[in-house]
Homo-oligomer: A and B are copies of this chain.
Amino acid sequence: MPRGLFITLEGLDGSGKTTQIKRLGAWMARRGLAVIETRQPGGTAAGERIREILLDSRSGTLAPLTEVALAFAARAQAIVEVIEPALAAGKMVLCDRFTDSTEAYQGGGRELGSAIVLELHRLICGDLQPDLTLLLLPGFEASLARARRRNDRMEQATGTNEGRFEQEQDAFYRRVWQKYREIAAREPERVVLIEGDLGIDEVHEQIVEAVSERLVLAG
């Protein structure tokens, strides 16, 4: 059985990753492909508990290296428990965030730099890389506005100040955005950059186009 494709979606908060994963998953399922949808951090029992520590203000202020190690702990578990078994069984794996998020948020946003994140990836994830990464990244002002709208909605919905990352400043988001651009420029074969402040349907069309090419390549 041919190995499945490992496809990750990346972007700032509010970029529409979750919506697009659902649309892409449905599109693949209609074409008879076996597909699973998962997310990082999370996706396993331990991973969801790790996610809570990362997002919950009761954890106190986490050191950037703590965030990085937690992200890789969740990832290590997801690889063994979810991602590798699915790929080996020929399934398409759609994952909401992966190591690029750690590089962008902790390497860029929290200024740890890329090198440590990439070294940890090598130690913890081995040679597992996404076959395709869809990076939803409008221009910085549009990205920031989306992240802020999302933050407002979350606060209204929960009555709390959920989401540690949403509390961060514009400068933080600018570093995250910039690091995502760097990753796309560094790995153009893997990363498809979907720019522009597009609507849901337009983004979906671009995603389907990129995925279709890979499916043809994968035979």
Q: Contact residues of A with B, CB < 8 Å? A: 44-46, 49-50, 52-53, 58-60, 62-63, 65-66, 68-70, 72-74, 76-77, 79-81, 116, 119-120, 123-124
Contact = CB atoms under 8 A, between A and B. Distances in A.
Given A65-B124, A66-B77, A119-B123, A59 B46 contact: yes
Q: Is the interface of A mostly helix, strand, loop or mixed?
A: helix
A60 B73 contact: no
Copies of this chain present in the complex amount to 2
Contacts of A60: 44-46, 81
10 contacts: A46-B53, A49-B52, A49-B59, A63-B77, A68-B76, A69-B73, A69-B124, A73-B73, A119-B119, A119-B123
Contacts of A52: 49
Nearest to A122: B119
Given A46-B62, A63-B76, A116-B123, 18 more contacts: A45-B58, A45-B59, A46-B59, A49-B53, A50-B53, A53-B53, A63-B77, A63-B80, A65-B80, A66-B73, A66-B76, A68-B76, A69-B70, A69-B73, A69-B76, A119-B119, A119-B123, A120-B123
